[in-house]
Amino acid sequence: MSPVSGTAHPAAIERAHASYVLACELDVAVRKPGNVSALSAGHGMDAALFIASAGASVGPLLRSGARVGDRIEAAVRATAGVAGCNTNLGVLLLCAPIARAIELHPEADDPVALRAAIEAVLADLDIADARAAYRAIAQARPGGLGSAPQEDVHGMPGVDLRAAMALAAERDSIACQYRDGYAQLFDIGLPPLLLPASPRLALGPDDRASPAVANLVQRVYLSFLAGLPDSHIVRKHGVALAHSVMRSAQPWLARALMGEPLDADPAFAAWDLELKAAGLNPGTSADLTVAALFVAGLLNAGSAPR
């Protein structure tokens, strides 16, 4: 698949706009332990900041003809103007290649085709994309960033963006998606959204806090949190603590997959508060959740809500 085989298609861009904003809204409409939600602020942020960030970033993210790095940089700059802090760098890093893929390949309307379209975009990344992404990351200043022995974002890149991400892939799940063609997003995050009983991701405002939708979002979030050491926790607190959070998430995931309403158990909210009190923010798991919801919205996955 050629990375330039398609042209801007208004219906595809409109679908991407709606899907991205909905994914960001669902991200904070539902309790995701350790992460900010409308039910539970934390880490000096609240849900309103994330909603504002979505509204500010969607235009630059979906700008017609823009390359991946330019989308990331412009969306980070727009976010800073309304949030004043890093609310969505990981989301933008993940969603920019998806946004370019759907613009160039509007016919990619099933998981296999969309995954191939994203791979084509990743294969086309160049050093200019890396320069723009480095500037965006340096501006956003994600927690626990530190420095790297190779391709430090505070310097000038010597390789294209995908190659730079590959160097960080063993320690960062977002970088891993760039290296591996979004394998974890499609193999871990998307399957819960494609179950026959999953609600369709084209919901009115009254549907977004329904128990069925809460269970859907929590299944995706907990699939990432229980299956991968969260990169944000690893950067700030170390691998051992990230694995401890993974183990804590696994029984909750099992219950979510059985369709249990987790919010009916006070222990679920207590775990959320416990993580926040310890300063543990599984931000990368939340970023991957938003990206998976974005993809599912693009594919119009699932059946109508019950």
What value, to the nearest 5°, has the Cα angle with vertex 248 and ends 245 and 254?
Answer: 130
d(CA 113, CA 20): 19
CA 41, distance to chain mean position in Å, is 19
Phi/psi of residue 28, each to 5°? -105, -5
Tens-digit pLDDT profile for residues 154-171: 667 889 999 999 999 999
> Do residues 293 and 190 lie in contact, with contact meaning Cβ atoms separated by under 8 Å?
no
> pLDDT band at residue 109, thresholds of 50, 70 and 90?
confident
Q: Does residue 211 carry a pLDDT above 90? A: no
> Do residues 39 and 31 lie in contact, with contact meaning Cβ atoms separated by under 8 Å?
yes
Q: What is the mean pLDDT of the chain?
A: 88
The SS3 assignment for 21 reads helix
Q: Does residue 112 carry a pLDDT above 90? A: yes
In this prediction, residues 54-83 reach a mean pLDDT of: 96
What domains are there in the chain, each with its CATH number?
10-299 (1.10.4200.10)
pLDDT of 226 reads: 98
> Do residues 153 and 176 lie in contact, with contact meaning Cβ atoms separated by under 8 Å?
no
pLDDT of 201 reads: 57
> Which residues, in sequence order, are CB contacts of 39 under 8 Å at separation 6+?
30, 31, 269
pLDDT of 306 reads: 31
> pLDDT band at residue 141, thresholds of 50, 70 and 90?
confident
